[in-house]
Structures are given as structure tokens and as C-alpha cells.
Structure 1
Amino acid sequence: MGRRLSQRQRERIQAIQEKRRKRLEKQITESLAQSDIAPPQEGRVIIRHGATLMVVGESGQLFNCRTRQNIGHPVCGDRVVWQAIDEKSGVVTALLPRESVLSRPDYAGREKPLAANISLIVVVLAPRPEPSGYLLDQYLVTAETINVPALIAINKIDLLQGDERDRFLRQFDCYRSIGYPVVEVSATLEHGLDPLVEALHDQRSILVGQSGVGKSSLINALLPDHQVETGRLSKATGLGRHTTSSATCYNLPGGGELIDSPGVRSFRLTRLSKQQIEQGFVELRPYLGRCRFADCAHQEEPECAIKQAAEAGQIDPIRLAHFHRLVAGASNQ
């Protein structure tokens, strides 16, 4: 966890950011004044790096765009209204409504968008490092909270054989039973990516998961022209080596899009209320509101519907323990 900033430090950072925003807005106004104003058109942000946006227009051409400061915070995946300044650059003038947005708290506790209009979150796990069920449940709660379907992808499945593989996969039976699809993949086996490629078809997806599970290897395998495409975008944006550290949306050869972002890869649960966490555990939903007490904590209270369901085998005890841990953590924030 990063160090906590003092109020004075936060104010100083906000003042610097405000100066930058004013300077950028002045540059945008001057650019528009010196150009022939092109008609507005819709586009989509495929790269976000600092104040730089790469927007793909209706013709498929890429434009290096700036953004007016009063329209919000466009991110990779956003649909926007923009106007061309010249053959290669433009200005984003409006942010269109989002179907979904993945965010995380910034240093001041405000929600900072990371990616928008996602249709699938892929949680990547592997035999090694040993999966963290608690982290997996955080990702799934996040997916439920922003109303985006989630897929569990077990990577490096080739590392396990026979009974060891069966025992490992058995721990995900409870997720299958409550509706989460689980696929087994390997970037080293022939056709080892087929289940994931099929799941990503026609989706705008992101990959999340703990360090060491092979997210980068999967991305490189899913995008065989990754380096070529990165080089093309690097040249178009002028970002050079910074392109690899920017949120970028790539087209998948088999159909669909994949958002690759270091911020998304290291994503952690945002701040949620107890009610949001309850809704984030899908197997709890049928029992919510059926406890004797309206403010039931689902622990030692009498006539707790969720505790009774767990005792009857309807709720996995490990998942329920993770629920209580998340609620405790939320109350301490």
C-alpha cells in the first residue's frame, strides 16, 4: 500500500494539476482558432496516456487528440464526440454515456476510471503461484458491482497432470455451480488457447489477476502481431516506449477487442458498502432480506437466512468467509 499523503501535499498536487489543465485548455482553444473547424463525429478512445488520447474515427483512421477539461475523464474504451484539427490530430469535445466503467480509488479516495465499455472481465489464475480465493472473490465482486460478466481462466494448465490436475480444478466447482464459466488454457499447448479465444469473440475484454499467472504471456499469444501493432501505435501517438505503459485497446485476430492496461492488470477492489458486497456474492442474493433482523451481519444472529443456507450446503463456507473479510475491510476504510 502506498504512503498516505498529507492534506498539504494533496492540495499542492491538485494545484499543479489545475495549472496543467488550464494550460492544456489554452492550447486546445488556440489550435481550434487556427484551424478550419471540422464537423463533429463519433469515435472511440483506443489509447489513454496522461493527457494524450488516441481516437479511432468513423473511417478507421487514428487521430492524436486532446480533450476539453470540462467533459470528464475519457479512458480507453470510451465513445466520444471529437473534431479534427488537421489530418492527424483533433479535440475531444464530449464523452458519450458508458455501458460500464472499471475504476479504482486515487490518492484522495476519488474514483478514477481505468477502462470503459467493457463486456467481459477475465480473471486469470494458475497452479503457480497458488491461487488466492480471496483475491478471486474481490475481482468477481467488482465485476458484479459494475454489471459485467466474469470468466475464470486457469492458465498454465499444462503444469498439472492426472490426479493433481483434478484436485486443483475441484476447488473451482463452487464457482461453476453459481454460474461463473471456468476455462483451462495454456499458451504452450497446441490449441491450448482455443477455449479463451472462443470466449473473447465479439467481446471487449480485460485480463486481471495476481502477478506471475501469465497475463502478459497470454496477451502476447492472443495478439500474435502485438509488437508490430505496438510499434505502429507508438509511431502514431509519438509516445515511443511509453506506449507499452499506456492503456491500449487491441483488435483480436479471432474477433473482439482486448484492453491491455498496467493499471487494470494490478487492479484491486474499489471501496464498497456492505450492501454492495452482499450483492456482489451472487449466491447470497436469494436469501437477502429474509433474515430476522434487517441489519443482520450474517454471523451469530438468530434466524439468519444466509447462515442457515451455508449450514445446509447452499453457500460455500470459504466464499462466506471471504464475504465477512471484505465487509470487515470495508468498515475499516
Structure 2
Amino acid sequence: MSKKKPLSQGQLRRMRNNQKKKLQSSEPSDNTPELQDNSLGPEQLGTIISRFGQHADVETETGHLARCNIRRNIKSLVTGDKVIVRLALTSESGASRIEGIVEAVHPRHSLLSRPDLYDGVKIIAANIDQILIVTSVKPAFTTQIIDRYLVASEDTGIAPVIVLNKVDLITPEELPEIEAALQRYRDIGYDVYKVSSKTGEGVEQINQLMDGKVSVFVGQSGVGKSSMINAMMPDAELLTGDISENSGLGQHTTTTAKLLHISTGGDLIDSPGVREFALWHLPAERVGQCFIEFRDYLGTCKFRDCKHLNDPGCSIAEALEAGEISQDRYQNYHKIIASLDEQRHARHFRAGPDE
């Protein structure tokens, strides 16, 4: 069987234009009917629990949950946003009824976003107090993924916490290496917790950590984010997925970010899983700033354009030699830097030369 001939740039461009036309034709038109102002009650505060296309589930301060339309002038609305909402004076029957309209969005004190090859930088959630970076020994424990999430967290200014899940699966042979890696993070100031959603180990500590805060779990698919939530909140009844036996990669189990209330206190935003947190939107200088132990040395190298490799007079290399920076973190930094151009090139190819 002969191989298919690769598509030309012109064919790719026509395919993208056709896809855009289909998406635009499926979007609601300006003539889509909305609730009339005279059928709505007074303005009140609400929180976005989840967003579904042109609709959002909003929880009011009285605890009422209502599915609402979104005013067309609202350009961005995500889980965790604080909003002004007006509810209908009378409600219609039916499970999918629209009960109100989101009128405006309050300023955000923080937001979590991730780059997307097709959509650019995409906001995941807003008004978060801390990011729980969940990793595990299965499908694989890797500090490179942890460091990517730490860079993303430091860039947003949201406090990160490292959580190692599935500790019941650690073998005696794996334990020394994993413990040494976790200790390196503790040494530079990060909080690290060890949890098993299966045995319940560490779950109470996580509950205490989240009390009174809005938290978000991030991590690769398959690390057990949903299983942890189920252990903390049995009533949540989130789907859990097994690790694919063929690829070793986790199955995606969450498709829409959703805000959940924790019975012991605090809120949790469960976000869609991502297998790799791309950082192509960050300049190399910003990545360096997001490695917190590098900060005291940045700007002190002999040459302003120092790449922190074999450059003479490199303060980062000298700190590495002196044991002030770990070899593991240093290598992960350079892996991230090396990946930036590759990811930018991939986005340029997929988005098209005109974008």
C-alpha cells in the first residue's frame, strides 16, 4: 500500500479555512434569543462552577446553582471567576433550562493558563490560591515534568505544592532515588506531600492544606488526580481512568474544569489533564527566573548573553559546581530551554504561517 502524499501548504491553509467556517457556522448568531431584562431579577454575586460553550453553571452566595447564558460582550469566562449574575424571576421546567444571565466578571487576583498549539495561551481557571502539582510513580516519576509545572506556577505567581501520589506502589529499589529527588525540592523551599488515594495515607494532610483556599490540581494524565479527589470527597463521584497498558500513558478522565466544595473546607478546581505543560510562550530569561534557586545568580554572569552552559564566567555554572544548584534541576532547565524553539515551531506549523 503506497503512502499518502503529504499535504501542501496551500492544501493545509484551505483545510484550516474550511474548519474555521464550520466552527463559525455552528456558533450562535446575534439573533439567538436571550432572556429579556424585564424577566430577570436584581444583580447578585456568583462564582463560575463550570463553563460549557455559551453557557456556565453559576453558584450564588445563597448556594443556588443555575445554568446561565453569557453576555456576548464577555470575552473570557472560566471556572473560578467571580461574576455578577441576574436570575430569571420565573423558572421553566426541564433539566437543561436556562435560569439567568452572567452580566459581568470581577477582576481576577490570579489565573492559570496553559499554551495550546491551536488556540495560543488558554486560560484554565481563575482566582486560585495554590497549585497542587500531582505526580506519581506510575506511569512514571519524572522531575522534568515537575519542573515544567513549577515554572508555570512561578510565572503565574500562584504558590505551588508538590504532591507525590500512589506512594503505596513505590518499590524498595525506587525509594532512595525518589526520596532524594523530593528532598531537593524541600531544600529550595517547596512543600512536598506524599499521598496514596488507595490506602488513604496523607489524605488528611491535603485536606488541611486546602482548608479555606481555592486550589487546583495539575499533572499528567494517569497520575491519579481524580482518584485523590474521590478519596478526599467520596460524594464527588468523578470518573477515574486506568493507565493504558499499550502506551503507559494515562487515559483522560476530566474534560471540563469544575469547582468542587470540600466538606472539610476550601474549594478545589479540577482541571482537564495535560500530558505535557508546554512553555513555548515564555522567553528564556523568564524561565530562568522561574527556577527560584537561580535568581541570586542571574544577571551576575560575565557576559550579558550568557547561555549558562560552557560560557566563561557563568555564575549559574559556578553555583552548580559549588553545589548550590542541583545537577538534576540544571539539566531540566536546559531541557526546557531547548524545547522552547521546537514547541514554537510546532505551533507555527499547525496554526499556519499567517498566524
- Bucket of the pairwise TM-score, normalised by the shorter protein: 0.7 to 0.9
State how far apart, in whole Å, the 2-side matches of 1:162 and 1:294 are: 46
* Residues 22/195 of structure 1: CA separation in 2 closer, same or farther (3 Å cut): same
1:290 pairs with one of 272, 290, 300: 300
Q: Deviations over 1:231-257 (max 9, x none)?
A: xxxxxxxxxxxx963321100111111
State how far apart, in whole Å, the 2-side matches of 1:160 and 1:133 are: 16
Residues 135-174 of structure 1 mapped to structure 2, 5 A cutoff: 135-160=145-170, 165-174=175-184
Q: Does 1:321 align with 2:331?
A: yes
Equivalent position amino acid for 2:105 in 1: L
Residues 73-88 of structure 1 mapped to structure 2, 5 A cutoff: 73-86=76-89, 87=91
Equivalent position amino acid for 2:320 in 1: A
Match in the other structure for 1:233: none
Match in the other structure for 2:278: 269
Residues 1-333 of structure 1 mapped to structure 2, 5 A cutoff: 6-23=12-29, 25-27=30-32, 30-32=34-36, 35-86=38-89, 87=91, 89-160=99-170, 165-189=175-199, 192-227=202-237, 245-262=255-272, 264=273, 266=275, 268-270=277-279, 271-332=281-342, 333=344
* Residues 195/275 of structure 1: CA separation in 2 closer, same or farther (3 Å cut): same
Q: Deviations over 1:162-193 (max 9, x none)?
A: 68534431221111111111111112335541
Q: Deviations over 1:118-152 (max 9, x none)?
A: 11111122223331111111011000011111111
Equivalent position amino acid for 2:210 in 1: L
Contact residue 47 and residue 247 of structure 1 kept, 8 A: yes
Question: Which stretch shows the higher mean deviation, 276-285 or 94-103?
Answer: 94-103
* Residues 43/140 of structure 1: CA separation in 2 closer, same or farther (3 Å cut): same
* Residues 18/97 of structure 1: CA separation in 2 closer, same or farther (3 Å cut): farther
1:212 CA drift (Å): 2.7
Equivalent position amino acid for 2:110 in 1: S
Q: Deviations over 1:190-209 (max 9, x none)?
A: 55412211212222112222
Contact residue 68 and residue 101 of structure 2 kept, 8 A: yes
1:20 CA drift (Å): 4.6
Contact residue 139 and residue 223 of structure 2 kept, 8 A: yes
Contact residue 21 and residue 69 of structure 1 kept, 8 A: no
Match in the other structure for 2:248: none
Q: Structure 1 or 2: larger helix share?
A: 1
Match in the other structure for 1:236: none
SS for the counterpart of 2:41 is coil
Equivalent position amino acid for 1:11 in 2: N
State how far apart, in whole Å, the 2-side matches of 1:66 and 1:105 are: 27
Structure 1 runs not aligned, ≥5 long: 229-242
Match in the other structure for 2:244: none
TM-score normalised by L of structure 1: 0.85
Match in the other structure for 1:237: none
1:116 CA drift (Å): 1.2
SS for the counterpart of 2:337 is helix
Q: Which runs of 4+ in 1 moved over 6 A?
A: none
CA RMSD of aligned residues (A): 2.6
Contact residue 10 and residue 108 of structure 1 kept, 8 A: no
Contact residue 49 and residue 247 of structure 1 kept, 8 A: no
State how far apart, in whole Å, the 2-side matches of 1:109 and 1:306 are: 35
* Residues 109/37 of structure 1: CA separation in 2 closer, same or farther (3 Å cut): closer
State how far apart, in whole Å, the 1-side matches of 2:12 and 2:286 are: 29
State how far apart, in whole Å, the 2-side matches of 1:114 and 1:51 are: 16
State how far apart, in whole Å, the 2-side matches of 1:317 and 1:167 are: 14
1:303 CA drift (Å): 0.7
State how far apart, in whole Å, the 1-side matches of 2:59 and 2:235 are: 19
State how far apart, in whole Å, the 2-side matches of 1:148 and 1:331 are: 26
Equivalent position amino acid for 2:12 in 1: S
State how far apart, in whole Å, the 2-side matches of 1:267 and 1:164 are: 23
TM-score normalised by L of structure 2: 0.80
1:109 CA drift (Å): 4.5
SS for the counterpart of 1:42 is strand
Contact residue 40 and residue 100 of structure 2 kept, 8 A: no
State how far apart, in whole Å, the 1-side matches of 2:197 and 2:118 are: 40
